[in-house]
Amino acid sequence: MPSLKDLKNRIGSVKSTQKITKAKQMVAAAKLRRAEERATEARPYTERMEAVLANLAASAKDSPNAPKLLAGTGKDETHLLIVATADKGLCGSFNSSIVRLAREHIVRLQGEGKKVRIIAVGRKGDDQLKRLYGEMIVWKTNFLDVKQIGFAEAHEIAEKVLAMFDAGEFDVATLFFGKFKSVISQVPTAQQIIPAQAPEGVETPDLKGAVYDYEPEEEEILKALLPRYAAVQIFRALLENVASEQAASMTAMDNATRNAGEMIDSLTLQYNRARQAQITKELIEIISGAEAL
């Protein structure tokens, strides 16, 4: 049985931990609102671009002059996985759920005899993936020195991916990230960005019988639009990740704070019982000594 001093020290240690988790929860709650606003504000632009892409791709995909980013290489042998996670922990299962989805994708592709390459965006994803798939990681980056993620960071990643595609280093690129739904719900998501295809459920504009005449031609527009589409999708994923990370961190720290409170109550009860037992023992010894005299 631990001594009174040990119990007192442990109670003090848990209280210190509780202060840290409470502070982390408050910081995450403060950052969440702004992160959620940025993610929400980016969605209309992304969704509209997806609709435009779906409309243009419907008529240009089968064209012999269709851009390579839309038509693909004609092969399906090498896959590039862009796994976007957070740079820091203390956010529950947010990072591990994204990595788990990527691992399932890797196992399936390897079972089909495909070659897999990985770009790790975020330190936590890199830490988890390199244990089993370190030889597949061809490039990695993080945002530890970036105060606020902007389009410049997404554009840098997109340029790296597009340069690899132009060099023939992969045939299909899939982006993995956590889509923000609510404070208690962040959904691990996989989205193919090369060859470009609009996500399921995207509604194309209802032309009501009208015919659009594009100037320049659809193929020329797509050549300019598709590289930006890849960068926008990566930027959207990074913003969704930031909001999801703060929401998951707030929830995890709230649970940790409550668990610490329950542990403090339990240890305090144990401490009081041990203290009462020690006092009772000392009284018994005093009374026994008095009776012996």
Active-site residue list: 91
Residues 6+ apart with CB under 8 A from 46: 232, 233, 236
For residues 49 and 55, give the distance between their C-alpha atoms in angstroms, rounded to a whole number: 10
Instruction: Report residue 76: phi and psi, to 5°.
Output: -145, 50
The three-state secondary structure class of 168 is: coil
Token digits for 51? 């609709």
In degrees, rounded to 5, the angle at the alpha carbon of residue 69 between the alpha carbons of residues 66 and 170 is 135
Residues 6+ apart with CB under 8 A from 134: none
Q: How far apart are CA 37 and CA 58, in angstroms?
A: 33
Rounded Cα distance, 173 and 287, in Å: 82
Q: How far apart are the first and last CA of the chain?
A: 33
Give CA separation, 110 vs 78, 105, 114, 197, in Å: 10, 9, 5, 23
In this structure, the chain runs to a length of 293
Q: Is residue 39 within 8 Å of residue 242, measured between CB atoms?
A: yes
Assigned token pair, 277: 């037992």
Rounded-to-integer distance, Cα 10 and Cα 280, Å: 23
